[in-house]
Amino acid sequence: MNKINIGLIGCGTVGAGVIKILKNQNKLFSKKFQTEFKIKKVCDKNSAIAKRMKLSKSLFTTKIDDILNDKNIDVVIELIGGTHPAKEIVLQALRSKKHVITANKAVIAKYGSELFKEALKQKKNIYFESSVGAGVPIINAITEGLAGNTFKSLYGIINGTSNFILSEMTHSLCTFADALSKAQKNGYAESNPTLDVNGMDAAHKLSILVRLAVDKIIDVKNIHVEGITQISHDDIKYAKDLGLVIKPLAIAKTANNNLELRVHPTLIDEDHPLASVNGVFNAIFLETDPMGDILLYGQGAGQLAAASGVVSDLVNLATKGENIACARMKNIAYEDRSIKLKQIDQIETKFYIRLLVTDKPGVLSKISGILGKHDISIDSVNQKKQKKTSSVPLVMLTHLAKEKKLRIALEEIAKLSLVKSKPVAIRMENL
Catalytic residues: 205
Q: Where are the beta strands (DSSP E) in 142-223?
A: 150-157
Q: Where are the alpha helices (DSSP H) in 320-423?
A: 322-333, 363-373, 403-414
Listed in sequence order, the residues at least 6 apart from 155 whose beta carbon sits closer than 8 Å to its beta carbon are 249, 250, 251, 274, 284, 285, 429, 431
CA dihedral (41, 78, 131, 202) positive or negative: positive
CA dist 24 to 28, 35, 37, 312, Å? 9, 14, 12, 14
The Cα–Cα gap between 157 and 285 comes to 9
The DSSP output letter for 236 is H
CA dist 162 to 94, 250, 344, 352, Å? 34, 12, 22, 20
Question: Any idea of the CA torsion for 405, 221, 260, 215, to the nearest 10 degrees?
Answer: 160
Q: Write the single-letter amino acid at 51.
A: K
